[in-house]
A and B are shown apart, each in its own frame.
Chain A
Amino acid sequence: AQSVTQLDSHVSVSEGTPVLLRCNYSSSYSPSLFWYVQHPNKGLQLLLKYTSAATLVKGINGFEAEFKKSETSFHLTKPSAHMSDAAEYFCAWGGYNKLIFGAGTRLAVHP
């Protein structure tokens, strides 16, 4: 069965420092993988997606993620955090007409 594990429930960074949000997946075949962001009391917005093309995927707002099949990982990074990046981030596996989400990582950004 497919599953997604987000390794950190909370991440705290200072503004201007790098962000790393970790995601591992388990799947019996090549996945589609996604990162979504949810700001407080808002819906989910797609940040980026991996669908078996380039392993380094660039998304919106300066985020990118690298698909590493050998490590079954799809970690999200950003070189320099901004206050507006504070939100909940979800990694998701896609296929068979559904998304399977990780438990989410809350990113806090401090001045």
Chain B
Amino acid sequence: DTAVSQTPKYLVTQMGNDKSIKCEQNLGHDTMYWYKQDSKKFLKIMFSYNNKELIINETVPNRFSPKSPDKAHLNLHINSLELGDSAVYFCASSQARSGRYNYNEQFFGPGTRLTVL
């Protein structure tokens, strides 16, 4: 099936640990994103990559490090996890309409629920 997939779906870990979330899209898109949804359901952009190049880093702590090995993958590594990192993390992808300025709809993965104890 064509889609945006994320692994794992659930992640429970202790404070101070390091963890990674993987994202893959097979839609042929050139732009991928990470969003964070907090406990009040508020969604906020974290990172945006276009053709493997970081476009947006929305004042995210440097404990969060995205990596895009190719256009179809965007992984998120989190060091020294804190209680406040508990959230649902969504990966998304889209196709840029013109150059870097992307107005097209984004397709979302199912989310990864991260719980930090």
Q: Which residues of A contact B (CB under 8 A)?
A: 32, 34, 36, 38, 42-46, 49, 51, 88, 90, 94-101, 103-104
The number of chain B residues with a CB under 8 A from chain A is 30
- Residue from the set A42, A49, A99 with the largest chain B CB neighbour count within 10 Å: A99
Across-interface contacts of B111 in A (CB, < 8 A): 42-43
Selected A-B contacts with CB under 8 Å, 13 pairs: A34-B105, A43-B4, A43-B111, A94-B102, A94-B104, A97-B48, A97-B96, A97-B100, A98-B56, A99-B43, A99-B45, A103-B41, A104-B43
**Chain A at the B interface: mostly helix, strand, loop or mixed?**
strand
- Residue from the set B33, B42, B56, B108 with the largest chain A CB neighbour count within 10 Å: B108
Q: Quick check: B90 and A44 within 8 Å, CB to CB?
A: yes
Q: Which residue of B lies closest to A31 (CB)?
A: B103
Q: Which of B29-46 contact A (CB under 8 A)?
A: 31, 33, 35, 40-45
A49 to B107, CA, bound (A): 12
Q: Which of B93-117 contact A (CB under 8 A)?
A: 96, 100-111
- One of B33, B40, B108, B109 near A98 (C-beta < 8 A): B33
Q: Which residue of B lies closest to A30 (CB)?
A: B103
User: Contacts A34-B105, A46-B107, A97-B56 hold; do A90 and B43 have CB atoms under 8 A apart?
Assistant: yes
